[in-house]
Structure 1
Amino acid sequence: MPSIVPLLPPGYRARPASTDDIPAIHALVTRCEREAYGRVQSDAGAVAADFQRPGLVPESDTVLVLDRSGRLAARAWVNRRSEVDVHPEHRGRGLGAALLDWAQARARQVDGDSVVQTVPDADPAAAALLRSRGYQPMVTAWLLEFAMPVEPTVPEPPTDVTVRPFRVGDGPAAHVLVQDAFDEWQERREAYEEWATHTIERPSFASNRSTLAFAGGQLVGAALALDVPGTGEGYIEQVAVRHDQRGRGIGRLLLRHTFRAFHQAGRRSCTLWTHSDTGALDLYLRVGMTVRHSSTVFRKDLRA
């Protein structure tokens, strides 16, 4: 059982999650996404990847909340970051507050310095709850989309740059490229196994729609794509360009190649997430993407 049991309203009970619960958790997450965004964004692979986070112990770092009939009403996990999802039919009963307090207590129990939560800007009640618990805004995240009623054009590559789809064996080089590119804003480098679990080893990874750029025989850019079931659109999980190759149009080139690959597969839009720390929003807007919706990442300092 969890080291700390959340204090739940009458009629609910809690237990830890396991990998057997992935389908039920995914159903809950997608129900919450439809409520917040009007459409599904996640696949079961994203839920499965959370169980592989380094240091996460499902027995103590995850909680499922079940109603009287045994149906999943809410869930949470904490591992530096935290996620809390409450089924729309069970909101307004204190489940979100109980799980938020549980996540904070669990983070303190393992000597965490802080805990981070992300909420859609379209959900002011969730933001107010976080603020009432002492959370402060950290960054803004945007989901951008590129509409493709016709096949996107692709620019000519810069001199000495070649482009091709992702192949088996490209993982290690892509991992180093992404970690180096993200060093300027991410809190820590991800080990290969953790990174791969969230990207190239996910069932929805679309290798033939993921684009790599090479200069002088070296990997200098990557756009790693997912084909998320049930969404009807393409999704780009990560975009990275080597520092010394920026400003040459490689990012735009990678995006356009990936957009075109999704269009040829019958998709008529493609999306990706970015946030204010990456400094990449202007690039995506120049490519022709637009903001579909935004979220705010909140952080609470547990040392105070």
Structure 2
Amino acid sequence: MPENSPIAARAEAPEALPAITAGSLDWRPATVDDAAAVLALNNAMAEADQLPFRETIDEVQDELSAPWRDLAHDSLLGFDAAGELRASGLVVSFPGDSSTVRAFAFGGVHPERRGEGIGRELLGWQIARARQVLAASGKDLPARIGAYAEDTDVARHRLFERAGLAPRRFFADLKRPLSEAMPVPEVELTGSLRLVPWSDELDEPTRLAHNDAFRDHWGSEPQPPEQWQNGRSEFAPAWSHVVVDDAPDVEALLADPATDASTAAALRAGAPLVVAYALNSRYEADFAVRGYSFGYTDVLGTRRAYRGRKAALAALAAGMRSFADDGMEAAVLDVDTENPSGAHGLYASLGYVKVHGSRMHSIEL
């Protein structure tokens, strides 16, 4: 199918979704009330597959209750005769996609019920539903059906590849010890740049900074407010920091064609200008699995006009000091190994080393 064909044609969405017959499970859509059962299933799969994380009930509830989520059509749960959840599938899309419209498949099969063909049929249902979601988006953009797996999850890699999802992007999970032997660097900001703690008042300016910073990152799309604020159950405000410009050159920024419309409107309104940020979380359920406590940097970035001024480094270092002050043993983050900003090299220079890896498989439409 030509790349410039309408998304409705490229998606090749089926009129009806395939039935799942393997395993003789009873299937129905998920609801937010299923969060505890989904949590138990997810963590049973993570333990069996020796994954370096576990989920919490709050994380699952956040995922299921996202304001734009259509659980009635985009989810499926499979129960055995005893009423125990044995498989789940979720198709996740995002309201802010503006350059590539995406749909991702999440879920899996309980370890006790693997090998019956349930996972293969469930993934087939998810891909078919993803095609419907993409076609219904009405966005005549490049499109992607994606799924993630840890590098060590060989069975999942095979499942994805047999379904036509090719390995497309690779990610490194990096760890940096926090000890007296590896002091956190001191970063001096210049001019009118100032490091401050994250606050509710600075959250919207931080969102605008993030959308600007990641415009040239593969796989990233603008985040509207409801998407930006979703999924923060483990967010650690006291560990998070931003850099603001107290005296930005507003005229120059407004004249710059690279300044996006939302930032321009905020500048005209006199809103604070966040130029870099490090938002961090405390994934305490993972501490025992990894064998050490840590602070996790979820998102780190710098506005494109401010790159080269060490603003993101200052925010990152401030977060690392916050982790250490609260007794954390390490700083952890995840990075795209082909990040165009050269972040991987920066992290290596700070003492971060790879401890885990993951990859994204996809069908590109």
TM-score, normalised by the number of residues in structure 1: 0.89
1:299 aligns with 2:362: yes
Q: Secondary structure of the equivalent of 2:148? A: strand
Counterpart pick for 2:178 among 148, 152, 164: 148
Runs of 4+ in 1 over 6 A off after TM superposition: none
Long gaps (5+) in structure 1: none
CA contact (8 A) 1:154 1:257 kept: no
Offset, 1:176: 0.4
- The one-letter amino acid of 1:76's match is G
Q: Secondary structure of the equivalent of 2:187? A: coil
2:337 and 2:224 map into 1 onto residues whose CA distance is: 24
- The one-letter amino acid of 1:297's match is M
Offset, 1:5: 5.8
Q: Secondary structure of the equivalent of 2:83? A: coil
CA contact (8 A) 1:152 1:256 kept: no
Counterpart pick for 1:115 among 133, 137, 145: 145
Equivalent runs, 1:92-241 vs 2, <5 Å = 92-112=115-135, 113-150=143-180, 152-160=183-191, 161-185=193-217, 186-198=219-231, 202-217=232-247, 218-232=273-287, 233-241=294-302
Over 3 Å counting, the alpha-carbon distance change for 1:163 and 1:206 in structure 2 is: same
Q: Secondary structure of the equivalent of 1:110? A: helix
2:333 corresponding residue in structure 1 = 272
1:26 and 1:167 map into 2 onto residues whose CA distance is: 30
CA displacement 1:225-274 (0-9 Å, x = unmatched):
11123223211111011112212222222222111111211211222222
- Please give the root-mean-square deviation of Cα atoms over the aligned residues, in Å: 2.2
Over 3 Å counting, the alpha-carbon distance change for 1:168 and 1:56 in structure 2 is: closer
2:65 and 2:345 map into 1 onto residues whose CA distance is: 33
CA contact (8 A) 1:6 1:101 kept: no
2:283 and 2:33 map into 1 onto residues whose CA distance is: 21
CA displacement 1:86-108 (0-9 Å, x = unmatched):
22222222222111100011122
Offset, 1:275: 1.5
Q: Secondary structure of the equivalent of 1:28? A: helix
CA contact (8 A) 2:300 2:312 kept: yes
Offset, 1:9: 1.9
1:124 and 1:276 map into 2 onto residues whose CA distance is: 20
1:30 aligns with 2:43: yes
Long gaps (5+) in structure 2: 1-15, 93-102, 136-142, 248-272, 288-293
Offset, 1:204: 1.8
Q: Secondary structure of the equivalent of 1:25? A: helix
1:45 and 1:277 map into 2 onto residues whose CA distance is: 32
1:210 and 1:42 map into 2 onto residues whose CA distance is: 21
Offset, 1:162: 2.1
CA contact (8 A) 2:184 2:320 kept: no
1:187 and 1:155 map into 2 onto residues whose CA distance is: 30
2:175 and 2:199 map into 1 onto residues whose CA distance is: 26
2:149 and 2:32 map into 1 onto residues whose CA distance is: 25
1:261 corresponding residue in structure 2 = 322
Counterpart pick for 1:283 among 346, 357, 361: 346
Over 3 Å counting, the alpha-carbon distance change for 1:282 and 1:44 in structure 2 is: farther
* Corresponding pairs, count: 297
TM-score, normalised by the number of residues in structure 2: 0.75
